[in-house]
Amino acid sequence: MQAPDSHKPWLDRMVSSPALRSSYLSVLVHLVLGVVLALLAIDAQLRPSPKPLVIQIGRSDSPSLETDRDDAHAVSIAALRDIKNDSSEAAASGTKPIDVPVEPIAAVEIPLSLSLELPPDAPLVAVIGPPSDLQATVASVVSAKPIVKPISTKLSSAPPQGIAAQTAGQGRSVSGVPFANRRGRSRGDAARAHGGSAASEAAVESGLAWLALHQAVDGSWQFDLSGCRCDGACRDPGSISSATASTAIALLPFLGAGNTHAEGRHQETVSRGLYFLISRMKSTPRGGDFCEGTMYGHGVTTLVLAESLGMTKDDFLVPFVRDAVRFIETSQDMYGGGWRYLPGQAGDLTVTAWQLVALKSASMAGVAASSPTIDGVCRFLDSVQTQKGAAYGYRTPAAKPCTSAIGLLCRMYTGWGEEREALGSGVTMLAKPGPSPSAIYQNFYLSQALVQLDHPVWPRWNAKNRDQIVAQQARFGHEAGSWFFADPDTAPGGRLAHTALAILTLEVYYRLLPIYQPQAVEGSD
**Residue 406 near residue 353, CB atoms below 8 Å:** yes
> In angstroms, what CA-CA distances link 494 with 48, 490, 500?
44, 7, 10
Q: Coil, helix or strand for 414?
A: coil
pLDDT at 482: 98
What is the model's pTM? 0.70
514: nearest Cα among 366, 327, 392: 366
479: nearest Cα among 502, 463, 462: 502
Whole-number Å distance between alpha carbons of 255 and 515: 14
Q: Which CATH class is domain 71-168+196-520?
A: mainly alpha
Residue 251 contacts by C-beta under 8 Å, 6 or more apart in sequence? 270, 273, 274, 277, 304
Q: What is the distance in angstroms between the CA of the first residue and the CA of the last residue of the chain?
A: 139
**Residue 378 near residue 414, CB atoms below 8 Å:** yes
80: nearest Cα among 69, 95, 68: 95
**Residue 418 near residue 429, CB atoms below 8 Å:** no
Would you give per-residue pLDDT tens digits along the chain (525 residues)? Answer: 455 555 556 556 655 666 666 666 777 777 777 777 777 666 555 544 443 333 232 333 433 333 333 333 333 444 445 434 443 444 444 434 334 333 343 443 333 333 333 444 433 333 333 333 323 322 332 233 332 333 332 333 233 333 233 323 333 333 335 577 888 888 888 899 899 999 999 999 999 999 999 999 999 999 999 988 888 899 999 999 999 999 999 999 999 999 999 999 999 999 999 999 999 999 999 999 999 999 999 999 999 999 999 999 999 999 999 999 999 999 999 999 999 999 999 999 999 999 999 999 999 899 999 899 999 999 999 999 999 999 999 999 999 999 999 999 999 999 998 899 999 999 999 999 999 999 999 999 999 999 989 999 999 999 999 999 999 999 999 999 999 999 998 999 999 999 999 999 999 999 854 444 555 554 433
Give DSSP secondary structure letters for 310-341.
Answer: HHH--GGGHHHHHHHHHHHHHTS-TTT--B-S
The CA R_g of the chain, rounded to the nearest whole Å, is 31
Q: What count of Cα atoms within 13 Å lies in the side-chain half-sphere of residue 411?
A: 30
260: nearest Cα among 179, 341, 364, 340: 179
Domain boundaries defined on the chain: 71-168+196-520
